[in-house]
Amino acid sequence: MSGLDYPIFPVFALLGLLASIIPLPWHLQAWNTGTCYYMMWTALACLNQFVNSIVWHRNVINWAPVWCDISIRIMLGSSVGIPAASLCINRRLYKIAKVQAVTVTRAEKHHAVLIDTLICVLFPILFVALQYVNQGHRFDIYEDIGCYPFIYNTILAFLLTDIWPIIIGLISAVYCGLSLRAFYQRRAQFSQFLSSNTTLTASRYFRLMALSTTELCCTIPLASFMIWVNSSAAPVEPWISWANTHYDFSFVGQYPSVLWARDYLLVVAVQLTRWLVIACAFIFFAFFGFAAEARKNYRAGFGAVVKLLRFHPTTSASLRSPATARPVMVTSGHSLPVYVVKEKDRLSFPDSIAKFSEEMESTSPDFTPSEVSCPGTPSSMMYPIGRAV
């Protein structure tokens, strides 16, 4: 195949998965549901592509039919789930830019979460269910690619499959324009709202705006390009009937790379489909993976790992004689380690003075400091008829 396949693609797919889920916790805390759904759909799509690229490397064996049934639905769902999440981000930014009250109640937050969930979860589920209308057979398997949905190249496919990312992108464009206009009209009130909001800062607002604008600039052109590819790679056929479309539905197409890689447009469409989700992951991480709150959470996570792995020599200390002095490291969360000495019998203050006097009298007057031993000091620390999605 090409240089964009194994092992490069699985590595990038795994990195895209990590780049998507690392910033998720603090966005959940900030009630950024659109952003969270963007990360979830992107991470799920990267994980799906990662598994497929590993399992079907240099083979087209139908190892896991149930997984392929799930995999093709993840691909179809993410094709509208990610643009839908971007739509929710633009919608939220518009709501913030035209804010009429500084405070936001908890009921309003729950209502916003419900609307975002309907757009980002329920709509993709309905979209995936509708794809069965034009699904010719169960699925296809491409060598080095993995499971892939088979959608008949008909007019109905453009209405049920290809057109929805463009529609979502156009709605997002409207929200984006409205939010920019509202921002310039209410700059003073907008600043007051951000100053009183503990979960949204000006920096995070503009990074969300940059992310949604970038995704918007890519969605409509790429979706239009995929429509052109699908109409050029194979002739557009009429949709005859339900029985004709679903005849021998259990069939699984298996295509080695020596067959399907001959079709240049198909190669472009397939590679573009699976690399775009990785690009979405890295674009998101570029905007949010290096922000101040991200660096703060990285430091906190690193500190937790260091604290978890820190060595406490309590076991070796218990093996020593009780009468032997042993430095024990006591750690504090905000200071350097402090070393104390544990002894069997701790003398009171007058007794310690008397014992010190007796030792001084029994010590030779011409001793040197090099002759004093410290027993408590340790010596070491331890090919296909189908179409692209």
Distance CA 101, CA 219 (A): 33
Helix (H, G, I), strand (E, B) or coil at 254: strand
Quick count: other Cβ atoms within 10 Å of Cβ 131?
A: 19
More confident residue, 340 or 27: 27
Mean pLDDT of 6-14: 92
Amino acid residing at 241: S
Interval 314-339: pLDDT, tens? 444 444 444 444 444 444 444 334 33
Interval 100-154: pLDDT, tens? 554 567 787 888 889 999 999 999 999 999 999 999 999 999 999 999 999 988 8
Distance CA 27, CA 228 (A): 37
Residues 239 and 153: beta-carbon distance below 8 Å: no
Residues 67 and 265: beta-carbon distance below 8 Å: no
Contacts of 2 (CB under 8 A, 6+ apart): 267, 271
More confident residue, 319 or 57: 57
| DSSP sequence for 89-122 | HHHHHHHHHT-S-S---HHHHHHHHHHHHIIIII
Interval 156-177: pLDDT, tens? 888 999 999 999 999 998 988 8
- The pLDDT score that the predictor gives to residue 98 is 76
pTM strictly above 0.85: no
* Strand partners for 329: 339
Interval 270-318: pLDDT, tens? 999 999 999 999 988 888 777 666 677 667 777 777 877 775 444 444 4
Quick count: other Cβ atoms within 10 Å of Cβ 37?
A: 23
For residue 265, give both structure tokens.
């447009």
Contacts of 385 (CB under 8 A, 6+ apart): 136, 150, 234, 253
More confident residue, 341 or 216: 216
Residues 270 and 145: beta-carbon distance below 8 Å: yes
